[in-house]
Chains A and B, each alone.
Chain A
Amino acid sequence: MSSDLYKKIKDIVGEDYVTESEFERFFYSRDVSPIPTELQEKWGTVPDIVARPKNAQEVSKIMAVASQNKIPIIPRGGASWWLGGSVPYKGGIVLDLTSMNNLIDMDENNLTITVDCGVTWKEIEDVLERHSYFLGTRPGSAASATVGGWISTGGVGIGSYKYGSVGDLVRSLEVVLPSGEIIQTQNKDLAGHGSGYNLNRLFIGSEGTLGVITKATLKIIPRHEAGPYHVSYAFSELSGCAEAIKKVVSSRLLPHHIAFGDKRHFMFLASMGKPVPDGEIVLCITLEGEKGIIDYGLKKLDEEFTSTGGCMKCCDGKSHEECEECTIEFRGSRINVYPVPGEIFVGLNRFEEALSKIYDLFDEMGLQAGVIGSMVDRRTTMIMPYYIQEQKESGTFMEFHRRLGELALSVGGRRVGLGLFFSSSLSHIHDEGSVAVMRAIKRCIDPGNILNPGKTVGGFDLFASLNDKKG
């Protein structure tokens, strides 16, 4: 027997684009993170219905039905995030937006590309590359991450050091509001400065709690003349590495990407037969830009790095092993293990302190683990500690993430992204007034709290609920 809700959604999207089968719904109950089965049940991460709308109009109609019936809507892209942002909390309708992936419209006059929300970043890159353009920044998981997904997480990625976060790529968004109304956040052909509230920034990083992003217009840049050119240095002391990064960020040189991987990371890779560079930490720099920048950059880096104890590992410019392993972090998962990632922002001035606390955390929890990361801008380090665990003991996941979040706060940093798991962290990251403003915005745009409830500004302390269970 199909439910009334199912029939209503079916009338909107057509029979082939909606399901309430128990078998199919089960596949939409998680993202990348290994949520233990019992918690999936406790939190209600299995949706009641999965729908695959084909355009903004269908999303709008579904939204109207959901508003009327107070049914949660959970927008879902490539589901390659790990904070539960696209999994339900207490059921609802998952909108699988990957069927909205037809439009890729490059406009060379206005230097933009307008794309459907379900297009992957890799698909955009491929189109742009054929015409000698690029976006500047890309998510590490470009092959599966969708436009709507990465914008909703407000992500940073490879190239953020030079070109900023995903938010800096966006010219305008088409968004379906919980009311069903479809809005265009900015003029697609002009910068949005001085035009009232910046609605782009409201939706970027809103984790699907304010509206469903259905299209995005992104700025495109002519491809650089030279590069990408990769060079790596090993440091025997963490302090030397930190010093080297400080020298680069305060220099005139503007690399495309600055990434690092620590000895534990490479030792772990060594168990798969990969070479281990000497030293405690390896720094990988990617250069690109106008002609001559590579020569200038290599000379500059060599001066700075050798003076801080660095030893050049590789400078043939190719995307070599160390560099790849620092950026495509999960190559490592091939030896019967499962790497569970964490992600925090820490100021460069407390980089060493953060790392040493992370090592203490690894030791205290008895984790086989490693650290990789990158510079997000001249001041902000993104540290991505990960640990290896047997699939079955997934309880460690929550403890690791809770303690990592606390650790970040203790060194003036914070976790990156909130999603389902860490919406209670909002009040640790921002002052009371700001949190109140955010919740007021949520109430104003989504008075029925139907869009991705429980996420971001939801404020549930899932850890507390876990402790209840134990008690």
Chain B
Amino acid sequence: MTKIPDIEEDLLACIQCGYCNAVCPTYEEFKWESASPRGKIYFLKRFYFLNIIEKFIKNHEYKQGFVKSLYICAGCGACNKICPVRIELSHRWEELKEWLFFEGYAPMENHKPLLERVRGVKNPYNEPIPNRTNWVPEDVKLSTNPEILYFVGCTESYRRQEIASATARILQKADVEFTILGTFEQCCGSPLLRTGQTDIVKEVLMPQNIENMKKVGIETVVTACSGCFQTLTNDYPRVLGPLPFEVLHISQYIKRLLDEEKIQFEKEFEKKVTYHDPCHLGRHVGVFEEPRRLLTAVPGVEFVEMPRNRMGSRCCGAGGGFKIAFNDKATVIASKRVKEAVDTEAECIITTCPFCKTNLTHGAEIMENGIPTYDLMELVLKVL
């Protein structure tokens, strides 16, 4: 048996005040105490010092209930920030999911194909490896002597290709010599880490991705996916130690180009827009200002904030494997976020994450007066 993560200190520190419940978007959709951050801690408080597995074996209802409860979390981290005793709740759930995965009790059924697919074709969408570069537009020329590497990620390679092609075209227009890993690129591991299926992530995906990046011989890796960005920034160094190159989110890199006047926003975009902070980019890494700087630098843009922004931003509901397991609830969470944007009278939402774009778009579809969501790169390309 693997060892249960050492969470004793957190369990003792938690006073069950319930501040976490008040900010949890996924609890809000279930509303049962078991689904809340406080509830999860309570369960653990009660059984940690006994034997959770023993309880599971004796009681099927407890097993099903608690495993599901752990997955009622989009990993947004709002709870971590409000906790008066600073428990990193969402990270603890990841560790517990990992433990239960190795014990054979996790993940949920819907998550299981992710691992099989990533093992097989290196992406969670079960798409053929050779198709990974299908998105590359004919007019984009990859450099043989690159300054930077663009890590595309599975979602932009196979699903949100418009973000990938916009990103590539922007880099090309700015005369940045760049390349991609192409068919050597593999899933960064994020969907597996978030659902506890860390199996091949630490031994295979992480080292191989880094090895392939090193071979390109660059000093900077950029990505336009907030999920990949968080994983490369937070999870990779945790396992592998410091990386031999800097990892930037594309918004940070474009901001740099803008400051160095290597790129100019010439055309106008005359719309009222708001910005949705992806949790993985914002709360988890702390990149809040660069996307806003880019947006406000676009001629014609009238920028307006939603009341909940930056560290206090509201999750779209897509993360942590939550949308995979509870798609309907995730869509409702997204529609609530779109409503916040509509209330600012913005005409569209700009974000910087393919998952947020997908889920907010789904959210807008199930409501009246929904507004569209675009990736920041799509907007930037329009105004160059």
Q: Does A96 contact B (CB under 8 A)?
A: yes
For A144, what are the chain B residues with a Cβ–Cβ distance below 8 Å? 17-19, 21-22
Q: Which of A19, A30, A78, A334 contacts B13 (CB 8 A)?
A: A334
Interface segment out of the listed B32-40, B126-134, B187-195, B369-377: B32-40
* Distance (whole angstroms) from the CB of A313 to the closest CB of chain B: 23
Interface segment out of the listed A163-171, A298-306, A315-323, A336-344: A336-344
Which residues, 321 to 360 on B, are CB-close (under 8 Å) to A?
A: none
For A60, what are the chain B residues with a Cβ–Cβ distance below 8 Å? none
Q: Does A229 contact B (CB under 8 A)?
A: no
Over the window 253-273 of chain B, the binary record of Cβ atoms lying under 8 Å from chain A Cβ atoms (1 yes, 0 no) is: 000000000000000000000
Inter-chain CA distance A207–B17, complex, in Å, is 19
Given A143-B82, A330-B85, A392-B49, A24:B17 Cβ within 8 A:
no
For B32, what are the chain A residues with a Cβ–Cβ distance below 8 Å? 19, 24, 27, 50, 52
Given A80-B17, A330-B17, A339-B15, A27:B42 Cβ within 8 A:
yes
For A19, what are the chain B residues with a Cβ–Cβ distance below 8 Å? 32
Are A336 and B9 closer than 8 Å at their CB atoms?
A: yes
Are B65 and A331 closer than 8 Å at their CB atoms?
A: no
Inter-chain CA distance A336–B10, complex, in Å, is 7
Inter-chain CA distance A336–B12, complex, in Å, is 6
* Distance (whole angstroms) from the CB of B65 to the closest CB of chain A: 4
Q: Which of B12, B23, B84 contacts A338 (CB 8 A)?
A: B12
Inter-chain CA distance A144–B82, complex, in Å, is 11
Given A144-B19, A328-B84, A330-B85, A98:B31 Cβ within 8 A:
yes
Given A144-B22, A331-B85, A23:B65 Cβ within 8 A:
yes
Over the window 111-138 of chain B, the binary record of Cβ atoms lying under 8 Å from chain A Cβ atoms (1 yes, 0 no) is: 0000000000000000000000000000
Q: Does B86 contact A (CB under 8 A)?
A: yes
Are A336 and B13 closer than 8 Å at their CB atoms?
A: yes
For B34, what are the chain A residues with a Cβ–Cβ distance below 8 Å? 23-24, 27
Over the window 261-275 of chain A, the binary record of Cβ atoms lying under 8 Å from chain B Cβ atoms (1 yes, 0 no) is: 000000000000000
For B13, what are the chain A residues with a Cβ–Cβ distance below 8 Å? 333-338
For A338, what are the chain B residues with a Cβ–Cβ distance below 8 Å? 12-13, 15
For A337, what are the chain B residues with a Cβ–Cβ distance below 8 Å? 12-13
Are A120 and B85 closer than 8 Å at their CB atoms?
A: no
Q: Does A116 contact B (CB under 8 A)?
A: no
Over the window 33-73 of chain B, the binary record of Cβ atoms lying under 8 Å from chain A Cβ atoms (1 yes, 0 no) is: 11000010011011001000000000101101110000000
For A26, what are the chain B residues with a Cβ–Cβ distance below 8 Å? 43, 46
Interface of B is mostly: helix
* Distance (whole angstroms) from the CB of A386 to the closest CB of chain B: 11
Q: Does A141 contact B (CB under 8 A)?
A: yes
Which among B19, B45, B65, B86 has the highest number of chain A CB atoms within 10 Å? B19
Q: Does A79 contact B (CB under 8 A)?
A: yes
Which residues, 16 to 41 on A, are CB-close (under 8 Å) to B?
A: 19, 21-24, 26-28, 30-32, 37
Inter-chain CA distance A79–B15, complex, in Å, is 12
Q: How many residues of A contact B (CB 8 A)?
A: 40
For B16, what are the chain A residues with a Cβ–Cβ distance below 8 Å? 30-32, 79-80
Given A27-B34, A37-B46, A22:B61 Cβ within 8 A:
yes
Given A330-B15, A391-B11, A23:B62 Cβ within 8 A:
yes
Inter-chain CA distance A23–B34, complex, in Å, is 8
Q: Which of A21, A37, A328 contacts B61 (CB 8 A)?
A: A21
Give the A-B pair count, Cβ closer than 8 A: 98
Inter-chain CA distance A338–B66, complex, in Å, is 24
Are A391 and B19 closer than 8 Å at their CB atoms?
A: no
* Distance (whole angstroms) from the CB of B78 to the closest CB of chain A: 12
Over the window 361-398 of chain A, the binary record of Cβ atoms lying under 8 Å from chain B Cβ atoms (1 yes, 0 no) is: 00000000000000000000000000000111000000
Q: Which of B23, B33, B62, B307 contacts A96 (CB 8 A)?
A: B33
For A330, what are the chain B residues with a Cβ–Cβ distance below 8 Å? 15, 17, 84-85
* Distance (whole angstroms) from the CB of B256 to the closest CB of chain A: 35
Are A24 and B15 closer than 8 Å at their CB atoms?
A: no
For A22, what are the chain B residues with a Cβ–Cβ distance below 8 Å? 59, 61-62
Inter-chain CA distance A30–B42, complex, in Å, is 9
Are B43 and A334 closer than 8 Å at their CB atoms?
A: no
Are B85 and A391 closer than 8 Å at their CB atoms?
A: no
Inter-chain CA distance A27–B11, complex, in Å, is 15
Q: Does A55 contact B (CB under 8 A)?
A: no
Q: Which of B18, B46, B49, B85 contacts A334 (CB 8 A)?
A: B85
Inter-chain CA distance A280–B154, complex, in Å, is 61
For B33, what are the chain A residues with a Cβ–Cβ distance below 8 Å? 24, 27-28, 96
* Distance (whole angstroms) from the CB of A9 to the closest CB of chain B: 15
Inter-chain CA distance A331–B21, complex, in Å, is 18
Inter-chain CA distance A126–B11, complex, in Å, is 30
Which among B9, B31, B33 has the highest number of chain A CB atoms within 10 Å? B33
Inter-chain CA distance A126–B34, complex, in Å, is 27
For B307, what are the chain A residues with a Cβ–Cβ distance below 8 Å? 126, 130
Q: Does A99 contact B (CB under 8 A)?
A: yes
For A336, what are the chain B residues with a Cβ–Cβ distance below 8 Å? 8-9, 12-13
For A52, what are the chain B residues with a Cβ–Cβ distance below 8 Å? 31-32
B8's closest neighbor in chain A, by CB? A336
B39's closest neighbor in chain A, by CB? A27
A390's closest neighbor in chain B, by CB? B12
Over the window 118-146 of chain A, the binary record of Cβ atoms lying under 8 Å from chain B Cβ atoms (1 yes, 0 no) is: 00101000100010000000000101100
For A24, what are the chain B residues with a Cβ–Cβ distance below 8 Å? 32-34, 65
Q: Which of B39, B43, B65 contacts A21 (CB 8 A)?
A: B65
27 contacts between A and B (CB under 8 A): A22-B62, A23-B59, A23-B64, A23-B66, A26-B46, A27-B34, A32-B15, A78-B21, A78-B22, A80-B18, A96-B33, A141-B19, A143-B82, A144-B17, A144-B19, A144-B21, A330-B15, A330-B84, A333-B13, A334-B13, A334-B85, A335-B13, A336-B9, A338-B13, A339-B15, A390-B12, A391-B11
- Hey, which bits of chain B sit against chain A, CB under 8 A? 8-9, 11-19, 21-23, 31-34, 39, 42-43, 45-46, 49, 59, 61-62, 64-66, 82, 84-86, 307
Given contacts A122-B22, A143-B18, A331-B85, 15 further A-B contacts (CB under 8 A): A19-B32, A21-B65, A22-B59, A23-B59, A27-B43, A32-B16, A78-B18, A78-B21, A78-B22, A80-B17, A80-B18, A143-B22, A333-B85, A336-B13, A338-B13
